[in-house]
Amino acid sequence: MKPERLDVTSEELEAILEGVRAPLGEVSYQKLQAAIHTLSYVTELLETREATLEKLRRLLCHSSTEKTGKVLKQAGIEIDDQKHKPPGEHTPKSKAPGHGRNSAAAYRGARKVEVPHGSLKAGDLCPDGRCGGKVYPQREPGVLVRIKGQAPIAATVYELEKLRCNLCGDVFTATAPEGVGEKKYDETAASMIAMLRYGSGFPWNRLEGLQENLGIPLPAATQCEIVQETAAQIQPAMDELIRQAAQGEVMHNDDTSMRVLSLDRDAASDADIAAERTGVFTSGIVSIVGEGCRIGLYFTGRKHAGENLADVLKQRAAGLAAPIQMCDALSRNLPKLPEKLEIIVGHCLAHARRHFVEVTPNFPQECRFVLENLGEVYGNDEVARAQRMSPEQRLHFHQEHSGPVMEKLHTWLGAQFDERKVEPNSGLGTAISYLLKYWDRLTLFLRQAGAPLDNNVCERALKKSILHRKNSLFYKNRNGAQMGDLFMSLIHTCELNGADPFDYLTELQRHTEELKQTPSDWMPWNYRETLARTGALLDVA
């Protein structure tokens, strides 16, 4: 029901407030006065049209945070800051020497120029002359770093001299320098466009405008053609990533909404999707294979995350142990698998925790108990990570240290309903119900070696897709979406494994024939070894 409009001035509200000051008490009076002043200020902003959603959000809402200490402080609970710091951070850290600056070693992509000494070489007599010694090279050279600006896509214009015979009329053109190549756009151009577009969220037109301003025009249509041609060349790498991801021991998945303007609903690839489904999603899958090798995959279309995960698992080799799947409790994240293929499902503890974070202002003491207990569990997990425990060692460590904490929490949660301390339909009751309903899957880390606590690694992966959605708003068609999925998958997998995505994309283009023959040798974690081995063989030949 729409509220009836009632015009009242700030002075009238102040007079009413003064009339009830005595019965309200000073504390309640101050709170109500602050609310009236806030209402007056917001109304003034709206009337002058100076208000934006961001300004109102900063004014009326707390800053977004999920850290236990900050959440409790915003709820008015004074806490010991040291208690909520991760293990090992209870004492203040000294600042690293030269903090805020990068060392010369950090510039991995910089061109290195060796500068010999102008007047000395190894073995020469010392210029001092009095000591009689000889100079010898030092292991560490002196280093200077010089940085200059340039366009993302640079260009070189070669002006080839032409000479014409004055008698026969023949024209003789200078030969192009060695290494110029025949293609106008080389492999590095395609890699840079893909990095900007799908790694950093640059829309086509924004890059076109930037290049135009820098004097090296690069039309949006040309950019699209370049990456489209490149995508077809390096598709075997994507196919191999999917195949290897299917063999993973732990698989995270989730999805986010996406827009594809001309998505063909009757396409064969979506033939098994219900006709009434109109949503479009980008699913993120992060598969952990072997000892810490991580593969990030993206799939955009009408399929949910669980359906895309099921498609990936169709390539799983027979005889492997059942993988662990980590996701939130949405049913669309669970794959429908054939009977012969099993999966161990765990749910995200961070999602369960978030329900309590959201209601902390209304139930500060109750939420404090939950958040501090979960914080202790996360602290134990950080200890296991810092000590590089094996999955079995980590499991025993959690059983010993986190098991009693979770058991105490489970008992407390049940008592809130059994003793009628919490209304089930309240915000706190809903948070408790969620935790109790999915307790077994939320505590999988206490029973299964290698089971993660949460799905945060996939949440972070989806930020790349969300960045694209925020900047470019949509994909134009299905082909564009598939092209985006390919490059995001390759780029993010490089980031997950500490590889250089620009160098990786460039080398894939330079070795397309080898990639087709043995794609497993051209993964982000081993392509440098393949290059070194190939180079060694060439030297021997």
Kindly state whether residues 192 and 309 are assigned to the same domain.
no
Are 300 and 276 spatial neighbours (Cβ–Cβ below 8 Å)? no
Kindly state whether residues 365 and 439 are assigned to the same domain.
yes
Structure tokens at 16: 């009413």
Instruction: Give the orientation angle of helix 364-386 with respect to helix 391-418, to 10 degrees.
Output: 170
Instruction: Give every CB contact of residue 500 below 8 A, 6+ residues apart in sequence.
Output: 108, 109, 494
Residue 136 binned pLDDT confidence (cut-offs 50, 70, 90):
confident
Q: What is the mean pLDDT of the chain?
A: 85
Q: For position 89, what pLDDT does the model report?
A: 46
Kindly state whether residues 439 and 528 are assigned to the same domain.
no
Are 345 and 330 spatial neighbours (Cβ–Cβ below 8 Å)? no
Average pLDDT of the residues in 344-348: 94
Kindly state whether residues 216 and 268 are assigned to the same domain.
no
Last residue within a domain, chosen from 431, 454, 477: 454
Q: For position 24, what pLDDT does the model report?
A: 78
Count of beta carbons in the 10 Å neighbourhood of residue 498: 8
Q: Is residue 415 part of a domain?
A: yes
Kindly state whether residues 329 and 464 are assigned to the same domain.
yes
Q: Which of 336, 325, 334 is nearest to 248 (CA)?
A: 325
Kindly state whether residues 306 and 320 are assigned to the same domain.
yes
Q: Is residue 167 part of a domain?
A: no
Specify the residue for token string 């749910």.
347
Provide long-range contacts, Cβ within 8 A and 24+ apart, for 10-18. 10/36, 10/40, 13/40
DSSP string, 117-130: -SS--TTPBPTT-S
- Percent of the chain scoring above 90 in pLDDT: 51
Q: For position 131, what pLDDT does the model report?
A: 81
Kindly state whether residues 440 and 496 are assigned to the same domain.
no
Count of beta carbons in the 10 Å neighbourhood of residue 535: 10
Kindly state whether residues 489 and 507 are assigned to the same domain.
yes
Q: What is the pLDDT of residues 446-483, one digit of tens each?
A: 999 999 999 999 999 999 999 999 998 889 889 999 99
Average pLDDT of the residues in 107-127: 85
Q: For position 91, what pLDDT does the model report?
A: 46
Average pLDDT of the residues in 290-310: 91
* Cα–Cα distance measured from residue 467 to residue 256, given in angstroms and rounded to the nearest whole number: 11
Q: Is residue 261 part of a domain?
A: yes
Q: What's this model's pTM, rounded to 2 decimal places?
A: 0.80
* Cα–Cα distance measured from residue 43 to residue 21, given in angstroms and rounded to the nearest whole number: 24
Q: For position 537, what pLDDT does the model report?
A: 44
Kindly state whether residues 335 and 461 are assigned to the same domain.
yes
Last residue within a domain, chosen from 411, 434, 454: 454
Kindly list the distances between the CA atom of residue 190 and the CA atoms of 230, 486, 491, in Å, as whole numbers in the listed order.
7, 14, 13
Q: Is residue 360 part of a domain?
A: yes
Q: For position 538, what pLDDT does the model report?
A: 45
Instruction: Give every CB contact of residue 222 below 8 A, 6+ residues apart in sequence.
Output: 185
- Percent of the chain scoring above 70 in pLDDT: 86
Q: Is residue 202 part of a domain?
A: yes
Count of beta carbons in the 10 Å neighbourhood of residue 333: 26
Kindly state whether residues 270 and 309 are assigned to the same domain.
yes
How many structural domains is the chain composed of? Answer: 4
Which residue type, as a one-letter code, is found at position 379? G
Q: What is the pLDDT of residues 382-423, one digit of tens each?
A: 999 999 999 999 999 999 999 999 999 999 999 999 888 888
Kindly state whether residues 333 and 466 are assigned to the same domain.
yes
Residue 3 binned pLDDT confidence (cut-offs 50, 70, 90):
low
Q: What is the pLDDT of residues 178-222, one digit of tens each?
A: 888 888 899 999 999 999 999 999 999 999 999 999 999 999 999
Are 305 and 285 spatial neighbours (Cβ–Cβ below 8 Å)? yes
The three-state DSSP-derived secondary structure of 411-441 is HHHHHHHHCCCCCCCCHHHHHHHHHHHCHHH
Q: What is the pLDDT of residues 261-275, one digit of tens each?
A: 877 554 544 555 656
Kindly list the distances between the CA atom of residue 393 and the CA atoms of 87, 88, 381, 396, in Å, as whole numbers in the listed order.
18, 20, 11, 5
Kindly state whether residues 242 and 331 are assigned to the same domain.
yes
Are 36 and 325 spatial neighbours (Cβ–Cβ below 8 Å)? no
Has residue 353 got a pLDDT over 60? yes
Residue 147 binned pLDDT confidence (cut-offs 50, 70, 90):
confident
Instruction: Give every CB contact of residue 367 below 8 A, 6+ residues apart in sequence.
Output: 71, 72, 75, 356, 357, 359, 360, 428, 431
Higher confidence at residue 406 or residue 54? 406
Domain that holds residue 214: 187-228
Q: Is residue 95 part of a domain?
A: no
Average pLDDT of the residues in 308-325: 92
Average pLDDT of the residues in 294-317: 93
Has residue 75 got a pLDDT over 70? no
Q: Is residue 146 part of a domain?
A: no
* Cα–Cα distance measured from residue 377 to residue 128, given in angstroms and rounded to the nearest whole number: 65
Q: For position 100, what pLDDT does the model report?
A: 62
Q: Is residue 134 part of a domain?
A: no
* Cα–Cα distance measured from residue 349 to residue 405, given in angstroms and rounded to the nearest whole number: 14
